[in-house]
Structure 1
């Protein structure tokens, strides 16, 4: 199974790209297949994308433009229409060619340009047969793959066939090009993969992290002071902030200030951990309770009162019944 980068394809990808992804996934284990490769360093556009880039060790690199439309038209005046879309001036081969030359230029700038193997491009019509695709000066017949090449057992062969044709074409047209057997080898394949999708991890240095924390603590302290200044003049105040921003400290300090001014102070929290922490911060003279415990106490207190009232009413009813019975006997 080939290494797919990324390993999955999005649900919103065209059906043709899903089909190509599925058959290339079953390619040889040492192949690397890029899907939807973003190209910022594009030779003719501000930004580009390659539908597929297949790195086949020992054969070369093929850049593929996929067209999954049920109809493709060329009007004879340089315009193309894919399905029901508007007319455009770029053929699928031109789109793939731009991505191909961008990749070559990028790899050469990093010292990993192709040596002794082809990097070329092709178009893949996943719904149509290439038998009715007219020849043109802008492409070679062997640069076209079609629906018949989508079989899992045929797709790798179609890629290799195209790269072999590309290599022969380069040998005929470019002076000094010579095919080197076995290239790109595994090491060069890994180098290409690393350059096209680098692996890295960025993190703050310990010094920078400490500096930022000191700054955040100073900022939070200033904000906390502002909050505490308005607590006393507002009967209700909502304080929001992320974990570690000092909300617990603000609550404890507000409770201490209220207690010091002679007010009965109750701090209500949600869980046991915060209850213990606030009890420690607030100190003596301030009651800290979990909301569930407080509610249970209130319910029990009222339940006790209701029970006493119920018993008194029952005794009154019995006494009244006894008096009435004595009157009836007399």
Structure 2
């Protein structure tokens, strides 16, 4: 069996190309032959590009370029070709093969792989027409030889057809003046070198260090408005961003989380599901700082002191029972919320706080509890949004409004003060 390239025909291959592939694929005793189908000629000397339906490299015989035609009617008159009864002439298939032959010959010569006397013949193969249907009105035409045409009958004997055409080519041009033809110069090793040159391949892959470097470059190349967003996070306790998929929300929240971690803050980057969490881990990358990426369900389970969701958990568990348990656990154990949250999904909320304990949970309704120790000097903002206006401590100099939820603010004698916010 000859060396076939490609080993399987692409889906776009037409009927004649498939017929040729099947015919050559079943050849026996031609293990040193190379058959290339659908060879693209990018370095074409007579146009921008071209294609050869099949190239057969037969050691000791020569190289044959094949143009396959599926037409069920062909007519050649006045030097023009008419296929499928089309009144307009089509491209001359033999001229197409001439351009491909010059291109391949020049390509191989540039690489020192062609001695100059290897025979390179051409053949137009009509796979839907039999030889008995061929009526040559002008035998021995000056434009081409009759042996440069093959028919559907020849599909049953492809090796014999190739050898016959190459033999006729060598016999004729071997007698021509100024033309040197020596089939023996095409040895099996030489044929392999030519095939490898025509079928050159390459591969490229980035390393982990390359990806880290690219990530740093991307971070430095943030657009001005993205930089503005990141700067806003330094001065705004709560920001809400909404936008279509692919606009950069996840990238922004990942950069913000890395910045917070580098600043020495214990950082949690959270989202709605495990798939998104995995994506965020890739965006954040490896970090020596205190930064964790977890989906919201895992965060709530941890706050409740659970290791997994109960078997058979339904929508009510995820939307109501688990969030309520998490809120209750936070009320009883505020220290379990000692993280700085980030949440991301198709749209996400990002929250910033001072180094006090903090947590945020629940997919459809969310709540936050923060307790400030006596040593914390930052002022607590009061809220004016839900109708229940909270009273801020006397040293609270800032006022902020919350779009969703209720808010309470007050002083306690020992622990400083506490804030609770729950969505309606």
Tell me if TM exceeds 0.5: yes
Equivalent residue number for residue 156 of structure 1:
159
Match of 1:299 among 297, 320, 332: 320
Contact 1:42 1:102 in 2 (8 A): yes
- How far apart are 1:191 and its partner, in Å? 1.5
In structure 2, distance between residues paired with 1:112 and 1:266: 59
- How far apart are 1:67 and its partner, in Å? 0.8
Alpha-carbon spacing, 1:97–1:222, altered in 2? closer, same or farther (3 Å): same
- Identify unmatched segments of 5+ residues in structure 1: 260-264, 305-330
1:1-330 equivalences under 5 Å are: 1-27=1-27, 28-74=30-76, 76-85=77-86, 87-88=88-89, 90-131=91-132, 132-134=134-136, 135=139, 136-151=141-156, 154-175=157-178, 177-181=180-184, 183-202=185-204, 212-220=214-222, 225-229=227-231, 232=236, 235-238=240-243, 240=246, 245=251, 247-250=253-256, 268-271=271-274, 274=277, 281=291, 289-290=296-297, 296=317, 299-300=320-321
1:87-134 alpha-carbon deviations (Å, 9 max, x no partner): 235332222222122211221122112454311101101111234242
Q: Which has the higher strand share?
A: 2
Instruction: State the TM-score, normalized to the length of structure 2.
Output: 0.57
Alpha-carbon spacing, 1:180–1:87, altered in 2? closer, same or farther (3 Å): same
- How far apart are 1:198 and its partner, in Å? 1.0
Which gives a bigger RCO, structure 1 or 2 (Cα 8 Å, sep 6+)? 1
- Identify unmatched segments of 5+ residues in structure 2: 285-289, 302-315, 326-424
Contact 2:74 2:85 in 1 (8 A): no
- How far apart are 1:245 and its partner, in Å? 4.2
- How far apart are 1:145 and its partner, in Å? 0.9
- How far apart are 1:267 and its partner, in Å? 5.3
In structure 1, distance between residues paired with 2:125 and 2:253: 60
In structure 1, distance between residues paired with 2:79 and 2:204: 47
In structure 2, distance between residues paired with 1:102 and 1:162: 21
In structure 2, distance between residues paired with 1:190 and 1:222: 56
| Corresponding residue SS for 2:64 | strand
In structure 2, distance between residues paired with 1:272 and 1:109: 52
1:230-249 alpha-carbon deviations (Å, 9 max, x no partner): 56575443585789946345
Contact 1:33 1:52 in 2 (8 A): yes
Paired residue total: 290
The alignment yields a C-alpha RMSD, in angstroms, of 4.3
Alpha-carbon spacing, 1:234–1:212, altered in 2? closer, same or farther (3 Å): closer
Contact 1:127 1:147 in 2 (8 A): yes
1:34-90 alpha-carbon deviations (Å, 9 max, x no partner): 11211123232222111111111121100011111111122x333322115462353
Instruction: State the TM-score, normalized to the length of structure 1.
Output: 0.71
Contact 2:119 2:183 in 1 (8 A): no
In structure 1, distance between residues paired with 2:240 and 2:323: 27
